[in-house]
Chains A and B, each alone.
Chain A
Amino acid sequence: MATENAPASMYRTTEGLGVWEHKGKVAAVGVGHSPTTRRWDGTAENTMGANSIFALRQAIADAGVDPSQIDGLVLDPVTTTGAHWPEGDPIPMDVVNAYNQTDDPLDGIAKLSAEWILKNMPELSNVKFTMYGPGCMSHAIVVAAQAVGEGRTHTCLVLKSWHNLEGRYNQAGISASESVPGSFAMAPGRTLWGAPGSYGTALQFAEYCRKYGKSHDMMAPFMSNSRRNGLLFPEGYWAQHRPEHLTEEDYLNARWIAKPANLFDNDIPIMVSGAYLFTTAERAKDMKQKPVYIINHASSRGTQRSILPTLDEVEAETASTGRKIYEGAGITAADLSFENMYDGFALFHQFHLEGLRYRGMQNGDALDFYQKDISIEGPDPVLPSGGNIGSGRSRFWMHTDCIQQIQGRAGARTITGVKPEIGVSGGPMPMGGNFTVWSATPD
């Protein structure tokens, strides 16, 4: 069974599509996570593949379904946090041979195929539908929701895994070479100009601050709140390994990476896997967990004119994304109980918020909003998951939180200032990502 990328037709990328035809007919019924680690320790039992199996089995158990009932699997085959297997380095065959292998020895270590999962989870004996949603969990969720809605699969696992290896982020490979190809040198990204990953976002933030008269220190309450929420997320990296609060002073005194982006504005790369189980609303009724209904998904495919997106381009795209999210769900901004939009890099979360018009926000309002009560106890919670800033780079904490908040299973992180009935999550980038609207009821 050859697994292919989801066709473009499965993503809802434009405005004017109306209410999603499968609104409320797909539900999340299971959640699973592996433990987190900063990097792979080189052992067979802690590979990215092992984490994947762990998370999938947790999601299955959480849903209380028999694995033989599962007929679909959607995942992102790209698992790198920015670390790639060093060219020429031997692949440890004891690790490779600890699992049933595909024809690629790095499968399960530094990349992941659906075939590898199925070879190593024999209990998934009835999976007939596999598909890739390449990019991150936000992509895979959208693909899986659409696939269940279309009847391609009825009970579908959704998986995102990350590997992280020794070495500093993005400093190997072409960054260490003496020369670069001409087109690469002219392209956005690292290039020969030495831009760190957060540079583009930092510049959009700088432009935002100049336009609206804001400053980087206004981010501090948001950053402290995100870490606080992250420390209440037992599945997350900071809660598991470094239960340290981030004070506003800590944040303001952090070293710069690409000023105005500092160390904490960049999410920490980790190893972790997350999995969900989706099924039809009809089947979900009788399952162990309270179903969380998907009432829309929407995608952003923004393009910039030249090297870096300008503030105008970003704001136009996020506003369009907000309209798509509400249109397909048949709701308005006033219906949102909470938001869990992406935050890794922290300096673009405000673009997502303003695009959503969250709590009536307009462009330029978000940093002032951060100075008010944005806690989980207040009526205007911002990023109750804590996001990547609060729990490390998984790009799925915000989805898990939406599901758990609506199910009433968010524990100490439970939103209390507003009843969590409808939440939105997604990302990653303001100029490109995939977004999901979750609801306690199908309509």
Chain B
Amino acid sequence: MVKQGVIPDDLSKPFWDAANAGRLEIQNCSACNRLHNPPVAACTRCKSGDNLEWKLMSGKGTIYNYGVVYDCPVRLLQQDQPFNLAVITLDEDSGIQMYSHLPGTPVDDVPVGAAVEVIFEETANGQKVPEWRVIG
């Protein structure tokens, strides 16, 4: 599945740069030790933007939930319907979620609760994006 290209902006650039380098980095407030995804301009706990940094993750997670998309609004993905769209939670913090199409997992045969690891796929403009693959 080729996803739409991504044009990094100020808030998200560190995330996308890390993805291009094969690393999963998530925004963190060092004062609160609180991860944020999506990234924020100010920490949701201390309300300050002064201590926001980008933190390297292990790239390990769990399938929290999923649905199967049959009627996708995004034109570029319509040729791939139906497809899985899962929510992954990170091992570092189960409150932090990421989307995944779960490449390699049959449609609607998704093992909720299974362990996954991050991989990186190229989007339409060459920008890499984190994806997730079931381990084992």
Chain A residues close to B by CB (< 8 Å): 168-171, 175-183, 185-188, 190-197, 199, 202-203, 206-207, 210, 255-261, 303, 305-308, 310
Contact = CB atoms under 8 A, between A and B. Distances in A.
Given A183-B39, A256-B68, A259-B70, A192 B87 contact: no
A203 B44 CA distance: 24
B8 to A, nearest CB: 4
A303 B9 CA distance: 24
Contacts of A305: 95-96
Interface string B3-43: 11111110111011000000000000000000001110000
A4 B39 CA distance: 30
A258 B81 CA distance: 11
A207 to B, nearest CB: 6
A196 B69 CA distance: 7
B67 A261 contact: yes
18 contacts: A178-B4, A178-B124, A179-B125, A183-B11, A192-B4, A192-B6, A193-B101, A196-B73, A207-B65, A255-B70, A255-B71, A256-B82, A258-B68, A258-B70, A303-B44, A305-B96, A307-B38, A308-B65
Given A176-B75, A257-B70, A259-B108, A182 B96 contact: no
A168 B71 CA distance: 11
B123 interface: yes
B77 A259 contact: no
Contact of B71 (A176, A203, A256): A256
B76 interface: yes
Contacts of B123: 179, 192
B56 interface: no
Contacts of B11: 182-183
Contacts of A171: 73, 75
B38 to A, nearest CB: 4
Contacts, number: 137
A185 B77 CA distance: 14
Contact of B98 (A202, A203, A210, A307): A307
Given A180-B7, A182-B9, A196-B71, 5 more contacts: A179-B125, A257-B70, A258-B70, A303-B44, A307-B97
Nearest to A180: B4
A175 to B, nearest CB: 4
A66 to B, nearest CB: 47
A185 B16 CA distance: 10
Nearest to A261: B67
Nearest to A205: B67
Contacts of B4: 177-180, 185, 192
A200 to B, nearest CB: 9
A257 B7 contact: no
Contacts of B82: 256, 259
A175 B74 contact: yes
B46 interface: no
B72 interface: yes
A303 to B, nearest CB: 8
